[in-house]
Amino acid sequence: MVSKYLKYNNISILIPARNEEPNIKILLPLLLKRYSQHIREIILVNDCSTDGTQNVLKKLKEKNSQIRLVNRKANPGVGNALKEGIKNLHPRSQYVLFMDCDFLANIDDVGIMISKIDKFDGLVGSRFIRKNSLNSYPLLKRLVNRSYHYLTRLFLKIPNSDLTNNFKLYKTSLVRKIYPLLSSSDFAVNAELGFYPVLMHARIGEIPVSWQERTKQMGLSKFKILKVGPSYLKVFIKLLQFKYLSPKKTK
């Protein structure tokens, strides 16, 4: 067991998936092998995949009842998928771990998060704490990410170094509180999930994690910065409104 503070079966792992056959085959068995006693459920939200994702998930689900599959047939998008996943959380889920299908290099970090979570409402994996954490992270993405966090530090007074990474372990009660605020259908939901809890004064900590670019065998990234840029800007404006115009900001 990783942490004496955590009871058995209380983490829901929520993973958005679109055409991830090669990665889920590796990721899910690894998570179950290492953390089975902490995992209540692993919810895969499969969005309109055209590869063997659904078949692989079905087979894995037959072997392990902790795996749950939400199949979406329309309106793909990470935001839509995560919101649907949150709606499907087990009523007694105590924590939610958000992660991506290609986070194969971060399996150990999950254990670190579990061992530290008792002091926080949420923990986020930051790629910008430790030197040399980024392995082939695209330059443009890095520039945009850093500028976004610079702006949020300046205008929202949020000091955290990396809240847009979809690698977060949150109390389920916190996830349910921010759920009504989630408006993005696409990748920008990662910023909403990261920044709203801090604006609500939840105790959000960071742990250093590394980031590994996909190899050819892992399939292509679906993230297109020009396509999702406007959504991230929209979120920034909503965050400003929330901080300066909304009367209710408590966690």
Q: Footprint of Mg ion on this chain (CB under 5 A)? A: 100, 102
Regarding 121 and contact with ligand GDP (CB under 6 A), the answer is no
The residue range among 117-125, 151-159, 191-199, 221-229 that interacts with ligand GDP, by the rule CB under 6 A, is 221-229
Q: Which is nearer to ligand GDP, 20 or 192 (CB)?
A: 20
Min dist CB 100 to ligand GDP, Å, is 4
Q: Are 193 and 160 in contact (CB under 8 A)?
A: no
Task: Please report which helix (H) or strand (E) contains residue 168, including its range.
Answer: strand 168-171
Nearest Cα residue to 58 out of 88, 24, 104, 35: 24
Q: How many residues does the chain have?
A: 251
Q: Is 102 in the site for ligand GDP (CB under 6 A)?
A: yes
Judged by CB under 6 A, the chain residues 64 through 83 that form the site for ligand GDP are 76-78, 81
DSSP per-residue string spanning 79-109: HHHHHHHHHTS-TT--EEEE--TT-GGGHHH
Distance CA(227)–CA(218), nearest Å, equals 22
22 belongs to the binding site for ligand GDP (CB under 6 A): no
Query: Which of the listed partners (Mg ion, ligand GDP, none) does 101 bind, with a CB threshold of 5 to 8 Å by partner kind?
Result: ligand GDP
Q: CB of 48: closest distance to ligand GDP in angstroms?
A: 7
Within 8 A by CB and 6+ apart from 81, the residues are 16, 17, 45, 47, 70, 72
The torsion angles phi and psi of 7, rounded to 5 degrees, stand at -80, 170
Binder of ligand GDP out of 45, 123, 178, 209 (CB under 6 A): 45
Non-local (6+) Cβ contacts of 71 within 8 A are 46, 54
Bridge partners (DSSP) listed for residue 28: none
**Residue 18 binds ligand GDP, judged by CB under 6 A:** yes
Nearer to Mg ion by Cβ, of 39 and 78: the residue is: 78
Q: Of 120 and 170, which has the nearer Cβ to ligand GDP? A: 170
Could you tell me which stretch among 16-24, 129-137, 143-151, 193-201 binds ligand GDP (CB under 6 A)? 16-24
Q: Are 98 and 85 in contact (CB under 8 A)?
A: no
**Residue 70 binding partner per list Mg ion, ligand GDP, none, with a CB distance cut-off of 5 to 8 Å that depends on partner kind:** none
Q: Which residues bind ligand GDP (CB under 6 A)?
A: 16-18, 20, 45, 47, 76-78, 81, 100-102, 221-223
